Amino acid sequence: MLDLERLRALHSVATYGSVSAAADVLHVTTSAVSQQLAKLERETGQKLLERNGRGVRLTDAAELLVAHAERILSLVEQAQADLEAHRGSVVGQLTVAAFPTAIRGLMPAALRSLGADHPDLRVQAIEEDPMRSMPLVSRGDYDMAVVQDWNNDPLPLPEGLHKGVICDDVADVAVPASHPLAGRDTVDLKELAGDPWISSSPDSICCHWLLRTLRAVDSEPRIDHMAYEFATQLALAAAGLGNVILPRLGRCDVPPGVVILPLAAPLSRRVYAVWREEAARRPAIRAAVTALRAAVPADIPAVAPVPR
């Protein structure tokens, strides 16, 4: 009979491309993964890995076995979820990735609530951009991710994932106090055409969204500075170096020299939790979404039912 942990080791090598990468994901040594694969080769009577330069590649036999391993591991996860659902207890371990403002604005209260209400559940929170976290949920690295999409730029949901809405979050514009429009009650995005902007790193969902949003109002973006943290972006804005799109969820302190202007045509983002279909029946998933929705600040409405 094939050993499940050996199949998991082979599947991880196939997914992540090397023995060392698989070891990192499985939280074991490279030697331990190599030993599991050697035992699996003896168990199957087939050669599974071949040298390929400095790395390895899977043999045809290994590729065949990986296809079965993927289905087997998915069934095991589903069985574990069904057993937890049958037991009705919120137990085990849950790894939750969340983008920066969600991990600051939602996770502390949600984690405190989960710890108090479900002491047998261990939750690990990891800060991660949605563009990276959703594929990692799909692959099984994380159990859940808190992600976002904007009202003018929906985020595609990969096949095999479910989602539950946590809240809608409105964004304002932060401008330097010296800006000609700083005294306005509201501002139209078109009125800021040609202004310098400050955004996050080029590979982030926020930077991609800002570029598309400004181009949609016939303004070719001029992004002068990039910083991942909103606190840093606001410090740059306070120095008169550009404007910032600033969501309300997890908003940090606004420094002197910055004025917050609501947009006349509001921009909002929807915050979701996503998880794999196989895990949908886990009480821990339901408990985590409940805690996240309860953690939404009073001025940001939660809008969705708890997933069933």
Section 53-72 average pLDDT: 78
Query: Is this prediction's pTM over 0.75?
Result: no
Strands 49-52 and 55-58: antiparallel
Q: Which long-range contacts (CB under 8 A, 24 or more apart) does 108-111 make?
A: 108/295, 109/291, 109/294, 109/295, 110/288, 110/291, 110/292, 110/294, 110/295, 111/291
Q: What pLDDT is stored for residue 236 in this prediction?
A: 96
Q: What pLDDT, on the 0 to 100 scale, is given for residue 81?
A: 63
Q: Does domain 4-85 have CATH number 1.10.30.50?
A: no
Distance of CA 198 to CAs 127, 168, 227, 236, 250, Å? 21, 23, 7, 8, 18
pLDDT for residue 225 is more than 90: yes
Residue 307 is predicted with a pLDDT of 45
Per-residue model confidence as pLDDT tens digits over 106-161: 999 999 999 999 999 999 999 998 888 888 888 888 999 999 887 767 777 888 88
Q: Does domain 90-308 have CATH number 3.40.190.290?
A: yes
What number is the average pLDDT over the span 171-191? Answer: 93
Q: What's the average model confidence in pLDDT over 95-105? A: 93
Mean pLDDT of the chain: 84
Domain boundaries, the chain: 4-85, 90-308
pLDDT at position 308: 43
Residue pLDDT, tens place only, 211-221? 888 888 777 78
Q: How far apart are CA 50 and CA 261, in angstroms?
A: 60
Q: What percent of the chain has pLDDT over 70?
A: 91
pLDDT at 192 over 80: yes
Q: Give the residue among 75, 61, 62, 74 at the shortest CA–CA distance from 19.
A: 62
3-state secondary structure 210-259: HHHHHHHCCCCCCEEEECCCHHHHHHHHHCCCCEEEEECCCCCCCCCCEE
Q: 194 and 219 in contact (C-beta within 8 Å)?
A: yes
